Amino acid sequence: MKILGIFCSAVLLAVSCDSEPKNKNLTYQNIVIISDMSSRIDNKPSKDIDEIHKLIIFFKTECVKPGKKIGDRSSISFSPFSDKTITSIDLDRFKSLETKQCFINSTGKYKNNGLVQQINIFESKVKETYKNTRNQGLDLISILIEKIDNEPIIKKDTSFIDIDTTFTKYENHIYVFTDGYLEYLDKKANSQFYFGGSEIEKIRHYCIVHKVDITKALKTNYSLNLPTNKSSKNQYIHLHVFETQERDKNDKLQTYKYPIGQRDNEILEAVWRKWAKESGFKSFEWKKY
């Protein structure tokens, strides 16, 4: 009887240990592409479409991983600054795992309308938008703020409690394709986020007169900065500014008008980076054309 009691206790202990709640941590990517459709894409042969293609391939091969991964919840979307989302692929919309995998693998009812076909449609809509859309003088920072605050482009982490607790984390990446210059038509009415040639020259002049670098100039004289915007959603966003250009560079001669430390792109990057940091973005990346 004593042996039976010991055996039962051991079984109960094993069961209780085996049923102890566990935490599952799952991470997915939310890729948001927003393009500046101004004359800047006509000034030089545009690299935007090639870079967007790389992001789409990353979404497919590194996030979704057809044939290698089950149940991914990543998403990718595209819009110009002048419009809301034009095209998107969001695996979160599938509530059934079976249906989701049919879409990812283009089987069953998604045989002719699965992931591969939707990626082709996505890329076609991107190319069509670049071909047919031109917007002159948009206030990009203000529009970016509006998109983050008022459009459903950012995903927040969630948790689900059953026997185990599943924590779902989203890495939100906003890719802004623009030349880096913040010039728009109604500067006289509102110059809050305007940052063009004259603003760049002010920083350059301040650096020369006070014999300081760009970082020191921005730290010392706050009037040279963009005003911060601490949206509660910024903390969830990795901000990427891609394909920025250099108007002070002679492409034929491969020469610059100004020395290192005073060039347009260096100043623009410092201004954007400080704005992103003070506005509370999770991280910031700057890529030059």
- Nearest alpha carbon to residue 288 among 257, 273, 266, 256: 266
40 has pLDDT over 60: yes
- 39 vs 237, residue with greater confidence: 237
Q: Given pLDDT bands bounded at 50, 70 and 90, which one contains residue 235?
A: very high
% of the chain residues with pLDDT over 90: 82
- Taking every pair of C-alpha atoms in the chain, what is the biggest distance, in angstroms? 96
Q: pLDDT confidence of 162, banded at 50, 70, 90?
A: low
Q: Are the CB atoms for 165 and 23 separated by under 8 Å?
A: yes
What's the mean per-residue pLDDT of the chain? 91
| Alpha-carbon 116 to chain mean position | 22
Task: Tell me: pLDDT of 52 over 60.
Answer: yes
- The pLDDT tens digits for 183-228 are 999 898 899 999 999 999 999 999 999 999 999 999 999 999 999 9
HSE-CB at 44 with a 13 A cutoff on CA atoms is 15
pLDDT of residue 160: 64
Question: Quick check: 11 pLDDT over 60?
Answer: no
Q: Which of 61, 54, 78, 115 has the alpha carbon at shortest distance from 287?
A: 54
Question: Is the pTM above the cut of 0.85?
Answer: yes
